[in-house]
A = this chain, B = another copy of it.
């Protein structure tokens, strides 16, 4: 789906910064860091606007934050062309050597049965280890 449609569907105003951000996330098959997104957004990137739009788009359910390590925050579209949904559907792999984050589409999030009184919203599964490229 085109960025403009995604924004309209979620009732979020269509601005150049948001369009560029969504378009950037559609260019790769993996969750991207702020710097990667920044490169692709070129002059439409502004740090403060970026942080604010991360908040706005995440609340609207358009994007999802993946925190593998506190210094390795990544972002992904919730509903993307790649055939998977980033909201609590699959696990992520974090390489401790190169810090890459890979979607483990075949590893599903388990069913969570919380104790009474707790309200479930989301579940993140982060697998840490060494990726194929770094593992010799």
Q: Which residues of A contact B (CB under 8 A)?
A: 65, 67-71, 73, 91, 93, 96, 104, 106-107, 110, 112-115, 117-132, 135
Contact = CB atoms under 8 A, between A and B. Distances in A.
A68 B113 CA distance: 19
Contacts of A124: 124-126, 128
A117 to B, nearest CB: 4
Contacts of A104: 114-115
The count of identical subunits is 2
Contact of A129 (B67, B110, B114): B114
Given A117-B135, A121-B96, A126 B126 contact: yes
For the complex of A and B, 8 pairs with smallest distance between CB atoms: A117-B132, A119-B130, A121-B129, A122-B128, A124-B126, A120-B129, A119-B129, A70-B70
B122 A113 contact: no
Given A107-B113, A118-B135, A125 B123 contact: yes
A119 B127 CA distance: 10
